[in-house]
Amino acid sequence: AVSQSKDNAVYYIQYAHARICRMLEKAAATQLNFDATTARQFAAKLELDAETEILAKLAAYPEILVRAANSHEPHQVGNYLKELAALFHGWYNEHKVLNDDAALTQARLLLSVNIQQVLRNGLELLGVSAPETM
């Protein structure tokens, strides 16, 4: 049987993606009107070291893709995705995304959506599914 834990990199990455999907469903169910365009104006609210680290990791994604393609080493993408998933899980476990500060919630949802997009894209490049539930 395949391990369903953080020791299994694919499961760990897929779980991060599914967790974000669930968070977005929960936000929608609470009538939270997330709008990426509006949320961008609150990006400065992302002040925590963990958030800055995630933003830097997201910014490195295009470079990782180029490096992996040029060196014919797709595992670089997998390693990057596992690192991004680890940053997300750590941040998510420590900080409430859906909270009483509407602007901060919007900013954190925007960050989460960007993480979700990169995870989905990277998994797709590797030929792996990005499930919305697990």
pLDDT of residue 87: 98
Angle, helices 102-125/61-71, rounded to nearest 10 degrees: 10
Query: Is the pLDDT reported for residue 69 higher than 70?
Result: yes
Lowest-confidence segment of 17-26, 31-40, 41-50, 68-77 by average pLDDT: 31-40
Domain locations in the chain? 9-125
Phi/psi region, residue 7 (left: phi>0; alpha: psi -120 to 50; beta: rest), is alpha
**Residue of 13 and 7 predicted with greater confidence:** 13
Read off the pTM.
0.92
87 in Cβ contact with 54 (< 8 Å): yes
Asked whether the beta carbons of 60 and 115 are under 8 A apart, the reply is no
Question: Under CATH, to which class is 9-125 assigned?
Answer: mainly alpha
Provide the 3-class DSSP secondary structure of residue 103. Answer: helix
**CB neighbourhood size of 5 (10 A):** 9
